[in-house]
């Protein structure tokens, strides 16, 4: 995704900051690794994947980008799901169980934790996404049906 509009660039940077806060991914809070677990490139990728998921989920109602994504809440959850998938794959790929001389060592054995959080977020996200898309589709089909979902797309 190429951000040509200056407003879209600002919005993407803001989304990455919010996602880092949402994920609590800061060196101060990552006491064991003492750095950010995910870099900005992975955050951008996760946000772009979240937008792509919205755009390809039926009912498809045109193209949404970072400037027109309908809900900050859904964007953060969708991007978090992508981050948890990526980090879970990384953890699983680098898992090491080692035993020698009566001592055992486990490295990177957190893939199950990442998967559990991802599934938790995905269940909630999919239900909320489905409800919002249905409401938007009904609104477009009938020329305007008022719903409480109209109020969740505040400008962030």
CA distances from 97 to 89, 94, 100, 137 (A): 16, 10, 10, 50
Q: What is the pLDDT of residue 14?
A: 96
pLDDT surpassing 70 at residue 3: no
pLDDT surpassing 60 at residue 154: no
Q: Beta strand pairing status for 103-107 and 96-100?
A: antiparallel
Q: pLDDT tens-digit profile of 13-68?
A: 999 999 999 999 988 888 877 888 899 999 999 999 999 999 999 999 889 999 99
Cβ partners under 8 Å of residue 133, min gap 6: 57, 58, 59, 61
Among 107, 66, 65, 73, smallest CA distance to 90 is for 107
Rounded to an integer, what is the distance from CA 46 to the centroid of its chain?
Answer: 6
pTM of the model: 0.81
């Amino acid at each position: 995704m190429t951000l040509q509009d200056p407003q879209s660039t600002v919005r993407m940077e803001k989304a990455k900051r919010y996602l880092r806060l949402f994920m609590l991914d800061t060196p101060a809070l990552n006491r064991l690794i003492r750095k950010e677990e995910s870099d900005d490139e992975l955050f951008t990728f996760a946000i772009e994947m979240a937008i792509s998921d919205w755009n390809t989920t039926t009912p498809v109602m045109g193209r949404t980008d970072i400037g027109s994504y309908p809900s900050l809440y859904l964007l953060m959850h969708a991007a978090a799901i992508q981050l948890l998938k990526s980090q879970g794959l990384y953890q699983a790929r680098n898992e090491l169980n080692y035993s020698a001389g009566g001592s055992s060592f486990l490295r990177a054995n957190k893939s199950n934790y990442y998967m559990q959080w991802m599934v938790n977020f995905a269940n909630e996200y999919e239900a909320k996404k489905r409800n919002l898309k249905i409401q938007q589709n009904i609104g477009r089909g009938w020329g305007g049906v008022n719903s409480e979902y109209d109020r969740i797309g505040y400008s962030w």
